[in-house]
Amino acid sequence: MSLPSSATLRTSFVGRDAELASLRSLILRPATRLVTVTGVGGVGKTRLVNELHSHLDGQFAGGIWFVPVAHVREPEQVLAAVATRVGIRDLDADETIRRVVERFDGQPSLLMLDNLEQVIECGTIIARLLHAAPALTILATSRQPLHLLGEVEFPVRPLPVKASADSEPPAETLFIARARESSYRFVVTDDNRKAIASITQRLGGLPLAIELAASWVKVLPPQRLLENLDRQLDVLVRGRRDLPERQQTMRSAIAWSYSRHLPNQSGHCFGSSASLRGLLRSVMSSALPPCR
């Protein structure tokens, strides 16, 4: 069995119980062949399917294969990435597809294709695989649906920012968990809890933005973080009151974190400025309208 190799698995997972249960039952339905988990960049699509993996123990006797395709630009390379993942190498295209189909035929297998939005035109390959290997189910993540026959879209929304019953809102739980990972001295108090609630609301519950903001508690307490976020919001959305609130707040949070982090502070809050830049670029391009 092939395990996901995402670095995100090293951090705690928050909420999403209902999504995991629904996605699991959808995937295990005999009629399901293709599910696409959709949502804006940073909403938690990759993390959700990684997490699903541990809820599928004993299912898919033919294996669960996680194939990240974020680096892939050409549709044909999707097949090559899948082939490499299952140990098939150096064959011509026809032979590769024959061997991949052979690999997935027989026992039920689940193929997870992560970040397919870069190669949305790879539909033909996916349709061909599904047609030729009836025991195969594909779970894709993509900002947009693939628009293939039989595809079931599974939209993912940001984490809830409002408490339900007695429980803490998952967006706040995520902020607190990442703040603790960022600074061992971080503690939740009555005062900073209010600021944390406001920060997660301003960030629209978007996990990536929450993680970026929480990493700042090392240098700024949540109350100061909130003030900075608010100030940035004013600068960034001046003249753009027509933007939906979610987009205004996300833009400000992300741009604020970006401007404070770069340049010359690489490694301060994140592993490297290059990976931060990549993350931010992906969020900015997917979730936000163009900057003025």
Candidate list 4, 16, 66, 118; residue touching ligand ADP; CB under 6 A: 16
Q: Which one, 125 or 276, has the nearer CB to ligand ADP?
A: 276
Q: Which one, 69 or 100, has the nearer CB to ligand ADP?
A: 69
Q: Which one, 39 or 145, has the nearer CB to ligand ADP?
A: 39
Give the DSSP per-residue string, 240-255: -TTS-HHHHHHHHHHH
Tell me the C-alpha distance between 203 and 207, whole Å.
9
Is 252 an interacting residue with respect to Mg ion (CB under 5 A)? Answer: no
The tokens of 264 are what? Answer: 């010359």
Min dist CB 141 to Mg ion, Å, is 5
- Residue 222 touches which of Mg ion, ligand ADP, none (Cβ within 5-8 Å per kind): none
**Can you point out the beta strands (E) in the chain?**
34-38, 63-68, 109-114, 136-142, 151-155
Q: Which one, 140 or 174, has the nearer CB to ligand ADP?
A: 174
- Residue 103 touches which of Mg ion, ligand ADP, none (Cβ within 5-8 Å per kind): none
The tokens of 276 are what? Answer: 């931060």
Is 161 an interacting residue with respect to ligand ADP (CB under 6 A)? Answer: no
Tell me the C-alpha distance between 100 and 105, whole Å.
9
Tell me the C-alpha distance between 71 and 266, whole Å.
23
Cα torsion 180, 166, 54, 110: sign:
negative
Task: Collapse the DSSP code of 113 into the 3-class scheme (helix H, G, I; strand E, B; otherwise coil) and give the result.
Answer: strand
Is 2 an interacting residue with respect to ligand ADP (CB under 6 A)? Answer: no
Cα torsion 144, 7, 71, 35: sign:
negative
Is 173 an interacting residue with respect to Mg ion (CB under 5 A)? Answer: no
- Residue 13 touches which of ligand ADP, Mg ion, none (Cβ within 5-8 Å per kind): ligand ADP
Candidate list 139, 197, 208, 269; residue touching ligand ADP; CB under 6 A: 208
Q: Which of 184, 154, 189, 144 is nearest to 26 (CA)?
A: 154
Q: Which one, 127 or 208, has the nearer CB to ligand ADP?
A: 208
Number of residues that bind Mg ion (CB under 5 A): 3
Residue span 22-61 as binding mask against ligand ADP, x where in contact by CB under 6 A, dash where not: -----------------x-xxxxxxx--------------
Is 46 an interacting residue with respect to Mg ion (CB under 5 A)? Answer: yes
Q: Which one, 88 or 112, has the nearer CB to ligand ADP?
A: 112
Pair 204, 194: CB distance under 8 Å = no
Task: Collapse the DSSP code of 38 into the 3-class scheme (helix H, G, I; strand E, B; otherwise coil) and give the result.
Answer: strand
Residue 212: CA atoms inside 13 Å, Cβ hemisphere, count? 29
Looking at residues 91 to 120 of the shown chain, list those that interact with Mg ion (rule: CB under 5 A): 115
Tell me the C-alpha distance between 77 and 71, whole Å.
10
- Residue 205 touches which of Mg ion, ligand ADP, none (Cβ within 5-8 Å per kind): none
Min dist CB 128 to ligand ADP, Å, is 26
Where on the chain is the footprint of ligand ADP (CB under 6 A)? Answer: 8, 11, 13-16, 39, 41-47, 141, 174, 207-208, 211
